[in-house]
Structure 1
Amino acid sequence: MSKLNGLILTGGRSTRMGEDKAQLVYHGKSQREHLMEMLRPYCSVVFWSVNVNQEAELEASGQLQLRIVDRYAIDGPLNGILSAFTYDPGAAWFVVACDMPLLTVQSLDTLVKGRNREKMATVFYDSDGKLPEPLLGIYEPAFGPMLQQAVKDGVYSPRQLLQQHDIQLLSVPDVRELTNINDQPSRKKLGL
């Protein structure tokens, strides 16, 4: 049985938000620290997925949190997921985007209990209930080689890859938990 590592996707540029979404404080600490604490009970180890600039900032500030630096010239979350599989191809990866501040252990528990290790991934239907939500899920080791081939073929959409492969789809207990906060108006609208 493969170990389950945690991966918090923090490597985006946060251009719409105007500041690093991973460092926003919603629960008394930065979002990346909050998610790290949430994932710890489920995972062998939890990593922050960071871009090169974030890596330099973390080094300069002396933060020792385990992290995986984006290794590929790919924009988007696929870079973080692929970099994680490059780092540890034998692990399954519990992936969480840093911009889901309404996420609770209720959804994490549902994913872990509904996990199907025989499938490429276990994810929720998105907030519309129609397509897979790629930024919150468990990706099995078999997903890594398929992901590498997809990138070679020029396919960079995690959702598209999930749609094309045998995955376990679950209904999220509370659809609000999938809410992405990507800009200041969205944040204010939710009172965060």
Structure 2
Amino acid sequence: MVLAGGKSLRLGREKALERLNKQTLIERTIGCLSPICQTILVVTSQEQFNLIAAAGLKGRVIVDFYPGRGALGGIYTGLASADSFYSLVVGCDMPFLNRDFLRYMIDITPDFDAVVPRIDDMLEPLHAVYSRGCLSPIKELLNQDRLGISPVFNLVKTRYVSKDEITKFDPEYLSFFNINTQDDLKKAEKLVRQREERLTVREGGI
């Protein structure tokens, strides 16, 4: 599940369709998820639906059931619309997702309602796995106008992915890098160039 309903106020334009290395951010995200997810759901707002739907993405685009209620409403919408019991949830603005790490999170999901990375005291709820068992607690929070995601993890059986586990796959924690501003986009472009340069060096045998 890809959440693409944010207003992109700090960037000033639709960040899901912002280009990075010849791909839109959402294309890049879906490209990472497709090999490990049976189906892709893209949750967006009514205002953004036509733009996202017209992008020709691989996946089903659905409108948020709870407009204006933030990512929590988007997660509820995706879980309620998904065919599977478990859903991997990521933001559309996370260009450096690590497929091996995501697969690891999926593999440890059985017996839990949620799997979420935790670095020190920081949770990454937009890089997490949720089960349909989270629907009722999320709906209760939405009805109470409690729109933060973190309280969900106190209401369901949660597996926290430790810093040590994360580091095995992603020592720089780039999985959680997200783009909110023009400066973030410039940093992402620089990181992409650096990765390409390292790849070129390895392929050249230097």
Bucket of the pairwise TM-score, normalised by the shorter protein: 0.7 to 0.9
Given the alignment, which residue of 166, 179, 183 partners 2:181? 183
- TM-score w.r.t. length of structure 2: 0.78
Matches within 5 A, 1:28-177: 28-58=22-52, 61=54, 63=56, 65-88=59-82, 91-115=85-109, 117-126=110-119, 129-171=120-162, 172-173=166-167, 174=170, 175-177=173-175
Please identify, of 22-31 and 62-71, the stretch whose mean Cα deviation from structure 2 is larger: 62-71
Q: Hey, what's the Cα distance between the residues in 2 that align with 1:88 and 1:109?
A: 19
Normalising by structure 1, we get a TM-score of 0.83
In 2, the alpha carbon distance for the partners of 1:76 and 1:101 equals 21
Structure 2 CA distance for aligned equivalents of residues 163 and 188 of structure 1 = 36
Gaps of 5+ in 1: 1-6
Secondary structure of the corresponding residue to residue 34 of structure 2: helix
SS for the counterpart of 2:20 is coil
Distance 1:63 1:186 in 2: 26
Listed as ranges, the gaps of 5+ residues in structure 2 are 192-206
Amino acid of the structure 1 residue aligned with 2:43: S
User: Is the Cα–Cα contact under 8 Å of residues 2 and 89 in structure 2 kept in the other structure?
Assistant: yes
Cα displacement (A) at 1:63: 3.5
TM-superposed deviation, 1:83: 0.9
- Does the CA-based 8 Å contact 2:73-2:142 persist in structure 1? no
Matched-pair identity in %:
25
Distance 1:26 1:181 in 2: 11
Q: Which amino acid in the other structure matches residue 134 of structure 2?
A: F
> Contact 1:31–1:98 at 8 Å: present in 2 too?
yes
